[in-house]
Amino acid sequence: MSSLANLLLKWKSRTREYQDAQAYIQKVLALPFNEVKQQALNLIADSHRFHTIEAPPANNPAIERLGPVLREFFSRFESVRDMQGDFYVGRSAIGDSCLRPGFVKIGSDFESSELVVRPGEDRVFIVTDPEHRLDGLPTIYHNICLLA
């Protein structure tokens, strides 16, 4: 189950909070890409919230299997870790998914989960098993914005 789904399930029993969470998710999804990207970059610039390593790209041919937004993201960031949660993406994590054959792993979000993408695409999915229903977010920047 994705962290987004977990968040919604947690808030579902509290009607007002659940509605607020859904509204926030829809607000983030409706933002223009450049705005989502800038908001995400502002969030990860907060060293109290995120630990980031910026470094020139190393020789990792797996990065070429990613979509254009993710290739650009990983050309700047070696890794990004949420200090208040389990979200982690990094060049060292990029490789074949153990949980979803045919997908590329780019990181993890919570215990036993993987952040995965289809080869050549940017939509990010959080999976915990091979049959997990896929309901991803358009880009890594959307994932980061929803951690706020």
- Reported as a single tens digit per residue, the pLDDT across 59-97 is 778 899 999 999 999 999 999 999 988 999 999 999 999
Cα of 94 vs its chain's centroid, Å: 13
pTM of the model: 0.84
User: What SS3 state is found at 87?
Assistant: coil
| Overall CATH class of domain 3-145 | alpha beta
Structural contact between residues 125 and 2, judged by C-beta atoms closer than 8 angstroms:
yes
Average pLDDT, the chain: 88
- Reported as a single tens digit per residue, the pLDDT across 37-54 is 999 999 999 999 999 999
Considering the chain, what percentage of its residues have pLDDT values greater than 90?
63
